[in-house]
């Protein structure tokens, strides 16, 4: 069947555009819904999926994994662009990879139905990365292909509308999917986005007779790459998107580190108690509000005084991102001092971040399309998407580097493998060698095993750490339920030392958690031999009053029901006049860059990027290409 291959001579909206925008809204619901709960799922749910309790993933490891996935999603567009521009065209590429995308969601929904959930997670994320990433440059370039010279003036508005549809789908999914995960579990939380992806595929297929199908360039692509200005366009845009990559390194942490931060905040806002993963949905609300304000009010007003070129918009957006992340760093400083700040502060940071997004992300996407030679539209769009991959790989690398190995966990797998097969699933204790690599000495670690799963760890000198925890709990009670400052409490612990005469230090992690730590047998801070206790203090609480929303979900969250199913003891908040604590021993397993220092690191990095962008923007000379 033949399709029209060049734009119609129209002044108005091309007929295929509504199908593309409808497809994008449903596809973005699918992607952002899954992504909204991914970090929380890895830390809190994954280890409970296979009918027993496994090893818990820490926040730094989950952050690294989420950003590796994000990076893969935005790296595979190069494959999709080559398929579309050289071999089969954009429409066929989008349809084929959308089916791969649906299979990825199906794999995620199957976790726990079959064993080896981590493998199902990897398979699902891999298929989604291939499908979602592969269609990204094709869909956005396919929008531009629908326009000719007479209606090219509508491109900026359509790209804004395109972004509007993205955020409509994202907002709905980031409200619904965390709620589904909280009350109905991972199967529905991952399954519903999968159904929306299937709907997106159908909507796009229904527009096949209304689209302009620009044929693949074939060898024309290669000729234009080397003779028609392709290489020049590639090299001119490369530095631009290296700068924009740092924007994405910060922006995409709203789906990882910002979620983990919100757990330590008072999340009551607009009369509701927001789930941590739901807060990021407000970014989409801000986008929907800010797009028309900037497009029709702010940009025209500023243009009368100072010409706002695309590069100037991007430069200003980078500086606004610095302010947004600096605010998040300040919020984390409050948390590090034991306070529980209002979520409204993080929402203000989201508002600033969204201003930056409108000035950087939308403009960079449109700029990539206009700067690409005609047969290379999808490939040049990959620069926009590739910058997202670079930024996310950078964050993943940072979070991988800052993790301090857990000396018990690194030895435990090998120790269990040495046990007779019939005793690996029983309950017993395993003695692990300490710093001297020899068992039977005073630096041994003792790991308790219950039903083949690691439970409590016993560390050398644990009695001294327990004594320190008792002092902390006493001071908290005398302080009206608040943690004393580190400067106040550490002198009280000066006589408490580990077996190697290193002082036990008190560190506040958030409003309910502290860490008691010493340098351990190697006498060096920040190594896998640091030992101590993490103490979680549960303050007295009153049961929440019932509300109308209680009728919309089961009486207990899915996670609590799952733990009871597996026979894992769960804590219940009841009316009490005492503060209880949970003490967890560790040997290593911390991070080298934590708390506010982590966010300040990225803030200063963003400031340096914004300053370095200025000379590049001044030297760049744009050249615009549109379809005939």
Q: Where are the domains of the chain?
A: 17-403+596-619, 418-542+564-590
572, pLDDT greater than 70: no
pLDDT at 331: 98
498, pLDDT greater than 60: yes
577, pLDDT greater than 60: no
Q: Which of helix, strand or coil describes residue 122?
A: helix
pLDDT at 226: 61
pLDDT at 316: 96
242, pLDDT greater than 70: yes
Taking Cα atoms as reference points, which of 119, 99, 98 lies closest to residue 107?
119
pLDDT at 423: 66
- Of the pLDDT bands very low, low, confident and very high (cuts 50, 70, 90), residue 574 is very low
Is the model more confident about 421 or about 516? Answer: 516
CB-based contact 311:617 (threshold 8 Å): yes
- Of the pLDDT bands very low, low, confident and very high (cuts 50, 70, 90), residue 114 is confident
pLDDT in tens, 24-61: 778 888 999 999 999 999 999 998 898 776 678 999 99
Q: Where are the alpha helices (DSSP H) in 149-229?
A: 155-184, 186-206, 219-226
Strands 445-450 and 428-432, sheet pairing: antiparallel
| Structural domain 17-403+596-619, CATH architecture | Up-down Bundle (1.20)
Q: What are phi and psi of 196, to 5 degrees?
A: -65, -35
pLDDT at 390: 93
Give, in order, the Cα–Cα distances in Å from 19 to each of 25, 154, 170, 211, 362: 10, 17, 18, 9, 20
Average pLDDT of the segment spanning 388-416: 90
7, pLDDT greater than 80: no
How many CB atoms within 10 Å of residue 380? Answer: 25
Please state, rounded to an integer, the average pLDDT across all residues of the chain: 85
pLDDT in tens, 427-465: 778 899 999 989 889 899 998 887 767 778 999 999 999
Is the model more confident about 543 or about 507? Answer: 507
CB-based contact 365:359 (threshold 8 Å): no
Contacts of residue 331, Cβ cutoff 8 Å, sequence gap at least 6: 261, 265, 341, 345, 346, 349
- Of the pLDDT bands very low, low, confident and very high (cuts 50, 70, 90), residue 570 is very low
Query: What are residue 587's DSSP bridge partners?
Result: 531
Average pLDDT of the segment spanning 181-205: 91
pLDDT at 14: 78
Q: What are phi and psi of 163, to 5 degrees?
A: -70, -35
Tokens 């699933």 appear where? Answer: 425
pLDDT at 117: 87
Average pLDDT of the segment spanning 4-16: 71
pLDDT at 576: 44
pLDDT at 429: 86
How many CB atoms within 10 Å of residue 19? Answer: 19
- Of the pLDDT bands very low, low, confident and very high (cuts 50, 70, 90), residue 550 is low
pLDDT at 346: 97
CB-based burial, 128-156: b 16+ in 10 Å, e otherwise: bbbbbbbbbbbbbbbbbbbbbeebeebbb
Tokens 């080559």 appear where? Answer: 82
Q: What is the DSSP letter of 428?
A: E
pLDDT at 228: 55
Give, in order, the Cα–Cα distances in Å from 17 to each of 169, 197, 212, 470, 560: 17, 18, 10, 66, 45
- Of the pLDDT bands very low, low, confident and very high (cuts 50, 70, 90), residue 506 is very high
Taking Cα atoms as reference points, which of 408, 409, 311 lies closest to residue 367?
311
Average pLDDT of the segment spanning 556-564: 89
pLDDT in tens, 354-392: 999 999 988 887 777 777 776 666 566 677 778 889 999
- Of the pLDDT bands very low, low, confident and very high (cuts 50, 70, 90), residue 612 is very high
Tokens 């290593």 appear where? Answer: 588
What tokens does 340 get? 């529980």
pLDDT at 433: 92
pLDDT at 262: 96
pLDDT at 23: 79
* Ranges 159-163, 313-317, 565-569: which has the least confidence: 159-163
Taking Cα atoms as reference points, which of 182, 181, 183, 201 lies closest to residue 191?
181
262 membership: H or E segment, kind and range: helix 257-262
**Distance (Å, whole) CA 142 – CA 369:** 10
* Ranges 82-86, 247-251, 430-434: which has the least confidence: 82-86
pLDDT at 164: 73
What tokens does 375 get? 């047969």
pLDDT at 339: 93
146, pLDDT greater than 50: yes
Contacts of residue 375, Cβ cutoff 8 Å, sequence gap at least 6: 85, 217, 220, 221, 224, 228
Give, in order, the Cα–Cα distances in Å from 126 to each of 81, 163, 201, 241, 277: 18, 25, 19, 25, 22
Average pLDDT of the segment spanning 190-206: 89
CB-based burial, 113-125: b 16+ in 10 Å, e otherwise: eeeebbebbebbb
């Amino acid at each position: 069947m033949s399709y029209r291959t060049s734009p119609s001579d129209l002044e108005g909206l091309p007929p295929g555009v509504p199908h593309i925008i409808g497809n994008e809204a449903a596809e973005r619901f699918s992607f952002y819904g899954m992504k909204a709960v991914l970090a929380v799922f890895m830390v809190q749910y994954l280890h409970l999926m296979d009918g027993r309790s496994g090893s818990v993933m820490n926040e730094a490891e989950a952050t690294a994994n989420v950003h590796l996935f994000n990076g893969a999603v935005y790296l595979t567009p190069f494959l999709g662009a080559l398929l579309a521009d050289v071999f089969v065209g954009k429409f066929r590429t989008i349809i084929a990879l959308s089916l791969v995308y649906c299979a990825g969601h199906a794999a995620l929904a199957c976790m726990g139905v079959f064993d080896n959930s981590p493998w199902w997670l990897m398979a699902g994320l891999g298929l989604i990365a291939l499908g979602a990433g592969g269609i990204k440059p094709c869909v956005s370039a396919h929008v531009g292909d629908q326009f000719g010279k007479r209606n090219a003036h509508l491109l900026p508005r359509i790209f804004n509308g395109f972004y509007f549809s993205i955020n409509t789908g994202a907002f709905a999914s980031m409200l619904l999917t965390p709620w589904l995960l909280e009350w109905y579990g991972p199967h529905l939380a991952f399954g519903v986005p999968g159904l929306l992806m299937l709907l997106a595929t159908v909507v796009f297929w229904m527009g096949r007779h209304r689209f302009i199908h620009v044929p693949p360039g074939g060898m024309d692509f290669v000729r234009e790459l080397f003779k028609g200005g392709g290489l020049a366009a590639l090299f001119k845009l490369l530095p631009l998107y290296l700068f924009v990559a740092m924007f994405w390194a910060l922006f995409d942490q709203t789906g990882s580190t910002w979620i983990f931060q919100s757990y330590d905040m008072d999340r009551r806002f607009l009369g509701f108690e927001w789930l941590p993963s739901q807060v990021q949905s407000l970014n989409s609300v801000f986008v929907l509000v800010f797009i028309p304000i900037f497009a029709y009010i702010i940009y025209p007003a500023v243009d009368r005084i100072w010409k706002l070129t695309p590069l100037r918009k991007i430069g200003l957006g980078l500086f606004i991102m610095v302010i947004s992340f600096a605010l998040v760093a300040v919020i984390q400083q409050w948390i590090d001092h034991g306070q529980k700040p209002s979520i409204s502060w993080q929402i203000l940071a989201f508002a600033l971040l969204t201003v930056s997004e409108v000035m950087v992300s939308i403009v960079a996407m449109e700029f990539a399309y206009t700067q690409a030679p005609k047969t290379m539209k999808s490939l040049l769009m990959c620069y926009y998407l590739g910058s997202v991959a670079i930024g996310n790989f950078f964050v993943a690398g940072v979070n991988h580097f800052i993790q301090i190995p857990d000396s018990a966990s690194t030895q435990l797998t090998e120790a269990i493998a040495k046990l007779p097969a019939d005793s690996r699933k029983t309950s017993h204790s395993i003695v692990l060698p300490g710093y001297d690599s020899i068992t039977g000495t005073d630096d041994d670690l003792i790991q308790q095993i219950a039903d083949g799963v690691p439970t409590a760890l016993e560390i050398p000198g644990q009695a001294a750490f327990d004594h320190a925890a008792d002092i902390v709990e006493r001071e908290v009670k005398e302080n009206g339920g608040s943690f004393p400052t580190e400067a106040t409490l550490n002198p009280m612990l000066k006589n408490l030392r580990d077996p190697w005469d290193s002082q036990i230090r008190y560190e506040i992690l958030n409003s309910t958690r502290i860490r008691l730590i010493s340098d351990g047998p190697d006498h060096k801070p920040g190594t896998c031999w640091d030992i101590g206790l993490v103490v979680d203090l549960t303050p007295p609480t009153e049961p929440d009053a019932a509300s109308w929303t209680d009728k919309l979900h089961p009486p207990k969250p899915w996670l609590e029901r799952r733990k009871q199913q597996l026979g894992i003891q769960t804590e219940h908040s009841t009316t009490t006049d005492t503060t209880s604590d949970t003490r967890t021993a560790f040997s290593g397993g911390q991070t080298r860059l934590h708390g506010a220092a982590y966010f300040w690191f990225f803030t200063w990095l963003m400031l340096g990027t914004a300053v370095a962008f200025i000379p590049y923007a001044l030297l760049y000379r744009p050249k615009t290409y549109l379809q005939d």
